[in-house]
Amino acid sequence: MAKGYWVSVYPAISDPERLTAYGKLARPAVQAGGGRVLSRGGRVVAHEAGITQRVVLIEFDSFEQAVAAYESEAYQKALVALPDGVERDFRIVEGID
């Protein structure tokens, strides 16, 4: 079964403190959904049209598990805390089996 991944890129963060508050809610929701954080805001070397801002990569045992974690009540509550001042490109992708 192919793994699932959450990939988030943050082109703009105008309120880092509120993003931290979101993270405090999101982290346990992700862990409860079986997610493992592989990268969170480390160094980035961007090529072509890429951006060097914050990137978060989370791995799940399956694509379905990744979707279910996003749709969970706990993560939806965390999303409410995500500040308006944060621009985020978020997607769930299926890995190669």
Q: What is the pTM of this model?
A: 0.90
pLDDT tops 90 at residue 12: no
Cβ neighbors of 67 (< 8 A, separation 6 or more) are 4, 92
Sort residue 34 into left (φ over 0), alpha (ψ -120 to 50) or beta.
Answer: left
Report DSSP letters for 2-51, one per residue. Answer: --EEEEEEEEEES-HHHHHHHHHHHHHHHHHTT-EEEEES------TT--
Mean pLDDT of the chain: 92
pLDDT tens, 15-44? 888 888 899 999 999 999 999 999 988 888
Residue spans of the domains in the chain: they are 4-94
Amino acid at 30: V
Averaged pLDDT for residues 47-54? 85
- CATH number of 4-94, picked from 3.30.379.10, 3.30.70.100, 3.90.480.20, 3.30.420.40: 3.30.70.100
